[in-house]
Amino acid sequence: MFTGIIEEVGVLEELTTGDGFGVMKVKCNKVLEDTKIGDSIATNGVCLTVKEMDTLSFKADVMGETLAKSNLGSLKIGDKLNLERALRFSDRLGGHIVSGHIDGIGEIVSIKEERNGTWFTISASKDVLRYIIYKGSIGIDGMSLTVAYVDNEVFKVSVIPHTLENTILFSKKINSKVNLECDLVGKYIEKLFTPKDENEEIKKSNITMDFLKNSGF
């Protein structure tokens, strides 16, 4: 699990693909501290497992499905990457709980600079937008951000200068693709209230809509 607070911007040194999977080599420094083989590093929001490492880089396998459903498959050598080590529960939770499992790819359709921040408007599929709520959390290339607007086609986030300067967002342009991970809560609630098939009624449960409202959801 991760927090969505980016620790370092790394650089893609190698990307080889074939036989349904790929191998990435990422140049970095800070995220290698206290990291060992088998640990997880969120790379543009994708949870990857370190299989090799030295003092200046790590390598990780990437499944074919991940290459197809995230922006990792379209990366080029020299591209910059948002990096974050897995959450330690002794740390402050500055963002929100991020699993590193990407729900879909969004596309930046507008960038508007203002004095105190920059507005990004991002389009996404209806399957992703259904889980995005106003004032809720969204993971964008692994960054924990707050949704400031959402409709049936796009959502918007406002990014403070610090985040813009210390992540790969500064290099994004209109039409850039970004990895999206929605908050887990909505997906769990939907699952609880969805029948296993069309012919099966929802089984009675102690968890009801009134219970969820009274509990603050």
In this structure, is residue 23 part of a structural domain? yes
Supply the pLDDT for residue 2. 93
d(CA 73, CA 70): 7
* 108 and 180 housed in the same domain: yes
For residue 201, is pLDDT > 80? Answer: no
Residues 42/36, Cβ–Cβ less than 8 Å: no
- Collapsing DSSP to helix, strand or coil, 44 comes out as coil
Give the mean pLDDT of 94-110. Answer: 92
* 24 and 60 housed in the same domain: yes
Final residue before a domain boundary, out of 85, 113, 139? 85
* 57 and 81 housed in the same domain: yes
The pLDDT tens digits of the residues spanning 52-81 come to 999 999 999 999 999 999 999 999 999 999
- What are the residue ranges of helices labelled H in the chain? 64-69, 126-129, 161-165, 184-192, 209-214
In this structure, is residue 16 part of a structural domain? yes
In this structure, is residue 97 part of a structural domain? no
* 168 and 193 housed in the same domain: no
The pLDDT tens digits of the residues spanning 183-193 come to 888 888 888 88
In this structure, is residue 1 part of a structural domain? no
What range defines the domain where residue 81 resides? 8-85
* 156 and 192 housed in the same domain: no
Supply the pLDDT for residue 56. 97
In this structure, is residue 99 part of a structural domain? no
- Residue 17 CB: number of other CB atoms within 10 A? 14
The pLDDT tens digits of the residues spanning 81-101 come to 999 999 887 777 778 889 999
| Both structure tokens of 210 | 């009134």
Q: What contacts 19, CB < 8 A, 6 or more positions away?
A: none
Please count the structural domains in the chain: 3
In this structure, is residue 94 part of a structural domain? no
CATH number for the domain including 151? 2.40.30.20
For residue 202, is pLDDT > 50? Answer: no
* 191 and 142 housed in the same domain: no
Q: What contacts 121, CB < 8 A, 6 or more positions away?
A: 108, 109, 110, 111, 112, 154, 155, 156
Report pTM. Answer: 0.83
In this structure, is residue 57 part of a structural domain? yes
* 81 and 120 housed in the same domain: no
In this structure, is residue 98 part of a structural domain? no
User: Percent of the chain, pLDDT > 90?
Assistant: 74
Give the mean pLDDT of 152-170. Answer: 95
* 109 and 176 housed in the same domain: yes
The pLDDT tens digits of the residues spanning 17-42 come to 988 889 999 999 999 999 999 999 99
DSSP 143: E
Supply the pLDDT for residue 194. 78
* 125 and 178 housed in the same domain: yes
Supply the pLDDT for residue 207. 58
Backbone φ and ψ for 26, nearest 5 degrees, come out as -120, 125
Supply the pLDDT for residue 189. 84
